Amino acid sequence: MLSKKTKYGIKALVHLAKQEERSPVQIGTISLAENISQKFLESILLSLKKTGILGSKKGKGGGYYLLKDPKDIPMTTVMRVLEGPIAMVPCVSLNFYEKCDDCPDENTCAVNKIMLEVRDSTLEIFRNTTLFDLCN
């Protein structure tokens, strides 16, 4: 299930991407427009800033803004920053692989097989969807 953190992060990114100019937008403005708790939004935007998706400006006229063109922000990047691994189980994760404690052989595991398909389908969608696509 998609966490509220990721859902709100995507909504905030779309809000920023829809701005005509790349000028900073205050957290309060995004919070009000997208119906997101300002305190929760602050931590989400900070995570996106730390990974280079957003920039920020302090003071009067300050706020958050996109550092990249929305066409250059794939959903795989956003999902991994906000949600963590895309795979539903660690034994099929590309970036966060861990062997399952209860599985003696991944090659014969029925759960592993179906989760590989789910991961591949999900990755295909996220890789081929950018922030720009969500704005249209």
Q: What is the pLDDT of residues 16-42, one digit of tens each?
A: 999 988 889 999 999 999 999 999 999
Number of domains in the chain: 2
Of 40, 66, 92, the position where a domain reaches its end is 66
* Per-residue pLDDT tens over the stretch 92-127: 998 888 888 888 888 889 899 999 999 999 999 999
Instruction: Using alpha carbons only, give the angle 6, 88, 13 rounded to the nearest 5 degrees.
Output: 15
What residues make up the domain containing 107?
73-135
Q: Which residue has the tokens 């920023």?
A: 16
From residue 22, alpha-carbon distances to 16, 25, 75 in Å are 8, 9, 20
Residues 79 and 54 in one domain: no
pLDDT category, 71, cuts 50, 70, 90? very high
Residues 62 and 78 in one domain: no
Residues 58 and 36 in one domain: yes
Where do runs of H (alpha helix) occur along the chain? 4-17, 27-34, 38-50, 75-82, 110-127, 131-135
Q: For the chain, give the percent of residues with pLDDT over 90.
A: 72
Burial 90-99 (b: 16+ CB within 10 A, else e): ebbbeeeeee
Say which CATH number the domain at 11 has.
1.10.10.10
Residues 77 and 43 in one domain: no
pTM of the predicted structure, to 2 decimals: 0.88
Residues 90 and 129 in one domain: yes
